[in-house]
Amino acid sequence: MNKERNKKAGVSTLPVIFCLMLLLFLYADRAMEGVRRGLTLCTQTLFPSLFPFLILSGLLVKERAGDLLGRLLNRPVRALLGLSEKGAVALLLGMLCGFPVGMTTATAYCDSGDMSEQELHRFLLFGNNPSPGFLIGAVGTALFGNGSLGVVLFLSVWLSALIMGILFHILWGKLPQMKQNYEYGNEKNSFTAHLTTSVEKGFSSLLQIFSFVIFFSCMGACLEPILQELALPNIAKIVINGVLEMTLGTGLAAAGLSPSNALVLTAFFAGFGGLSVMLQLFAVVRQYRPHALPYLLTKGLQGMLAAGLVKLYLVCAAPSLHITDCVSAFAQGLLPHPLSSGVLIGASLFFLVLLLCGRKKGASRARP
pLDDT, tens digit, 9 for 90 and up, residues 228-265: 777 788 888 889 888 988 888 888 888 888 889 999 99
Evaluate whether residue 346 is within a structural domain: yes
Evaluate whether residue 86 is within a structural domain: yes
Quote the strand ranges of 29-141, DSSP E: none
* pLDDT at residue 358 is higher than 70: no
Least confident window among 55-64, 135-144, 158-167, 312-321: 55-64
Expressed as residue numbers, the domain containing 266 is: 28-172+189-366
Chain mean pLDDT for the chain: 80
pLDDT bracket for residue 188 (50, 70, 90): low
Number of structural domains the chain divides into:
1
Instruction: Compute the average pLDDT of residues 304-317.
Output: 95
Cα of 181 vs its chain's centroid, Å: 28
Evaluate whether residue 301 is within a structural domain: yes
The dihedral formed by the CA atoms of 243, 244, 249 and 252, expressed in degrees to the nearest 10: -120
* pLDDT at residue 166 is higher than 80: yes
pLDDT of residue 300: 96
pLDDT bracket for residue 55 (50, 70, 90): confident
Q: What is the pLDDT of residues 121-160, one digit of tens each?
A: 999 999 999 888 788 877 888 788 888 898 999 999 999 9
Q: What is the pLDDT of residues 193-241, one digit of tens each?
A: 777 888 888 888 888 888 888 888 888 888 878 877 777 888 888 898 8
Evaluate whether residue 160 is within a structural domain: yes
Instruction: Compute the average pLDDT of residues 100-110.
Output: 88
Q: Say which DSSP state 43 is in.
A: I
Quote the strand ranges of the chain, DSSP E: none
pLDDT bracket for residue 347 (50, 70, 90): low
In degrees, to the nearest 5, what angle opens at C-alpha 237 toward C-alphas 236 and 243? 85
Evaluate whether residue 256 is within a structural domain: yes
Evaluate whether residue 307 is within a structural domain: yes
Cα of 152 vs its chain's centroid, Å: 18
pLDDT bracket for residue 100 (50, 70, 90): confident
pLDDT of residue 307: 96
Evaluate whether residue 105 is within a structural domain: yes
In terms of Cβ atoms closer than 10 Å to its own Cβ (0-12, 13-18, 19+), residue 367 is exposed
Q: Which of 7-21, 30-44, 271-285 has the highest mean pLDDT?
A: 271-285
In terms of Cβ atoms closer than 10 Å to its own Cβ (0-12, 13-18, 19+), residue 6 is exposed
Q: Say which DSSP state 13 is in.
A: H
> Structure pTM?
0.81
Q: What is the pLDDT of residues 70-88, one digit of tens each?
A: 778 888 888 999 998 889 8
Evaluate whether residue 5 is within a structural domain: no
pLDDT of residue 328: 56
Residue 64 region by backbone torsions, left for phi larger than 0, else alpha for psi between -120 and 50, else beta: left
